[in-house]
Chains A and B, each alone.
Chain A
Amino acid sequence: MLTEQAPLAVATPPRTLWSRPGVRMAALAAVVLALVALFLFTDVPGSLLFALKVRGLSVTAMLVVATAVGVSTVVFHTITQNRILTPSIMGFDAFYMLISTIVVFFFGATSFLTLDPLILWGVQVVVMVAFSVLLFTWLFGGKRRSIHLMLLVGIVLGTFFRSFTEWMQRMLDPVAFQVLSDAGFASLTRPDETLLLLTAILVALGCAAAIPLSATLDVLTLGEPAAVGLGVDHRRTVMILFGIVSVMIAASTALVGPVLFFGLIVANLAYAYAGSFRHAWTLPTAVLLGMVCLVGGQLVIERLFAFSATLSTVIEFAGGLFFLYLVLRKGAR
């Protein structure tokens, strides 16, 4: 049930203006622009230039994260033929923390890595991508298992990774074991500039790799047999796509820390909103919706409630409810 994808909706020609995907996306883009403008230009008590500088960084981080999460989740959904699994729910960011811990403790001590945090970061990303491709191939490469089973496996894996990380941190360096946990807390408002640049480059590379595959992704929606019938080298393509997903999530997790349900909300809203199931539309829609959630959410929390650092908690709460709704609605059918 959950595995079943809606058929490609491009068969029927659009009747009204609103049912055109292009129009819908333009409207969404306008909303994003409006929100960004609100975020940047309103409530500036002092120098506008300064505010733009500070908030510009924040908006860029949001854009990068929205892109990474939106694209990777939609791609992940397509490869795994479902709409409830996301890389984060599959324990991916917990896995990232584990890999980071392992890399820091086993390689961090050597001088050349401590000298250059960039190399350390690079090693982290490479190791991460390699391992996660292996992990996902193990999970999804063999026989098809039920989506719910995979979800449960993912959540349990997440707990496993987290416990293991904590154990390693405690065993190896009791004083500094809090350092890495600190990194696990999402902060969109004050990202590190160097890290932001690196992440942006990685995400851009990921997008550049994913966009030409958009048509292939559409074919993958039809399922493996159909895709193979249509001449897609399924195994190879899926491996490449897993690689892209890994890179993007690694980059965004490194930037703002884990955001568990964000991708789930964004991707599912995108399917409902885009008015098309072609990836040429759903991918950018997911990114734009991600922007709406992040910028809008930050606006509401920061300006209306003047709460700091609670966006991730709110997303966790709303995302959890949304997830329950999705699962129960689809599961009951």
Chain B
Amino acid sequence: MTAIATSTGVPVQARPRRAWAGALIGVALLVLSVASLFIGVSDVSPLALVTGGPDGRAAFLLIVSRIPRTLALLLVGATLAIAGLIMQMLVRNRFVEPGTTGVSEFATLGMLVTMVLWPGMALLGKMGVAAGFALLGTWVFLRIIRAVPVRQLVLVPLVGIMLGGVVAAVTTFFAYRLDLLQSLGQWAQGSFAGVMQGRYEFLWVAGLMGVIAWIAADRFSVIGLGEEFATNLGLDYRRVVAIGMVIIAVTTAAVLVTAGMIPFLGLVVPNIVSLIIGDNVRRSIPWVAGLGAVFVVACDILARVLRFPYEIPLSVIVGIVGAALFLWLLLRKGSRAH
């Protein structure tokens, strides 16, 4: 039995609830995005925008810093959540995402390689190398996971986390020998403090990946039913899997390079969406993207506000909230993990 895409039993009375949830996500997205625009060190209140602010800089900051940061947050939230969803389809397991499959750790290893070999490299190059490593990581994980029977639901993320641990140990070892641990640690720690115009644009590449995922959504749905089933339906299984792998790798690398690692997001969001509307990929992609964006923007606002004017790394906040949600998903009654 596949864990995914089999759920046909969306309760009939779920419809109004769904509409409610959808409206809620939409409103939250709007409110939080606007809030995100106006929270920061400088005075960029609506009033300052009208009057030009103390230095007449409010509008400039809005365009150069606040809008990019908010866009980056929206993009990261949406695309990471989608990448998680695609990963779950490829592996046919609810509990995977780039962070629980070693993909992020491979991308970090890629970062280390660029830091050692080409320290002055532009961000695009760094992202490319990281994406290459992430792709390799996805491939390695998919190879290893073939040995695991599908019904061992929680074994798959376990193996992924351990694989990540092993790769991370290699990275740590070399970074330690090369005295790059601190720098690498700062890269890997998810934070949007440095995001601004000119430093987030690669996330549009991730955004593009999200769009591709949306277009190919039905194929991923079919992939989720298994190789045999997909091939019988006349689908080029390998090609779809390859597309999925590229989507995951590029998204992971783009997010890692611009913001750092953001744990559990790609895992928690699709699961919650599935609780609300069921498992149809085409239907759930906008939901997943929307909820992912809401989640990240909300967490980042917390990260900015809790110790104003200094920032707490976003990954710390997401780590707490995401881990708590993940635990709830695992342990709640009726979870298939039992």
Contact = CB atoms under 8 A, between A and B. Distances in A.
Q: Do chains A and B touch in the complex (CB under 8 A)?
A: yes
A307 B310 CA distance: 38
A159 B319 contact: yes
A331 B162 contact: no
Given A155-B161, A174-B310, A324 B323 contact: no
Interface stretch (A39-47, A141-149, A207-215, A287-295): A141-149
Contacts of A260: 165
B265 to A, nearest CB: 13
A313 B176 contact: yes
Contacts of B162: 320, 323-324, 327
Interface of A: 145-146, 148-149, 151-153, 155-157, 159-160, 162-164, 166-167, 170-171, 174, 260, 307, 310, 313-314, 316-317, 320-321, 323-324, 327-328, 331-332
Given A146-B154, A167-B317, A170-B312, A316 B169 contact: yes
Contacts of B169: 313-314, 316-317, 320
Given A156-B326, A313-B172, A321 B166 contact: yes
B160 to A, nearest CB: 10
A260 B320 CA distance: 21
A321 B102 CA distance: 13
B338 A146 contact: yes
Contacts of B149: 331-332
Given A148-B158, A324-B159, A153 B320 contact: no
B24 interface: no
Overall SS of chain B's interface = helix
Contact of A149 (B144, B319, B330): B330
A159 B327 CA distance: 11
A309 to B, nearest CB: 8
Given A316-B166, A331-B148, 13 more contacts: A152-B157, A153-B327, A153-B331, A170-B316, A171-B312, A174-B310, A313-B173, A314-B173, A320-B166, A324-B166, A327-B155, A328-B148, A332-B148
Contacts of A316: 165-166, 169, 172
Given A167-B312, A171-B306, A331-B148, A324 B319 contact: no
Interface string B138-161: 000000100111001111011101
A155 B310 CA distance: 30
14 contacts: A152-B95, A155-B158, A159-B263, A160-B320, A163-B316, A170-B316, A171-B312, A260-B165, A316-B169, A320-B165, A320-B166, A323-B162, A324-B144, A324-B166
B79 to A, nearest CB: 22
A160 B177 CA distance: 29
Residue of A148, A156, A331 with highest tally of chain B CB at under 10 A? A156
A163 B312 CA distance: 11
Contact of A327 (B153, B159, B317, B326): B159
Interface in B223-241: none
A318 B202 CA distance: 36
B302 to A, nearest CB: 10
A324 B323 CA distance: 23
B337 interface: yes
A331 to B, nearest CB: 5
Contact of A156 (B152, B155, B170, B327): B327
A149 B337 contact: yes
Contacts of B319: 159-160, 162-163, 166
A146 to B, nearest CB: 7
B253 to A, nearest CB: 22
Contact of B338 (A149, A156, A159, A160): A149
Contacts of A314: 169, 173
Give the top 4 A-B pairs by smallest Cβ distance, nearest first.
Answer: A163-B319, A160-B323, A320-B166, A317-B169
A46 B165 CA distance: 40
B323 A328 contact: no
Nearest to A139: B331
B323 A152 contact: no
A39 to B, nearest CB: 23
A167 B316 contact: yes
A331 B145 CA distance: 11
B154 A317 contact: no
Nearest to A150: B154
B316 A166 contact: yes
Nearest to A170: B312
Contacts of B337: 146, 149, 152
Interface in B317-333: 317, 319-320, 323-324, 326-327, 330-331
Interface in B162-182: 162-163, 165-166, 169-170, 172-173, 176-177
A151 B165 contact: no
B323 A157 contact: yes
Contacts of A174: 307, 310
B323 A159 contact: yes
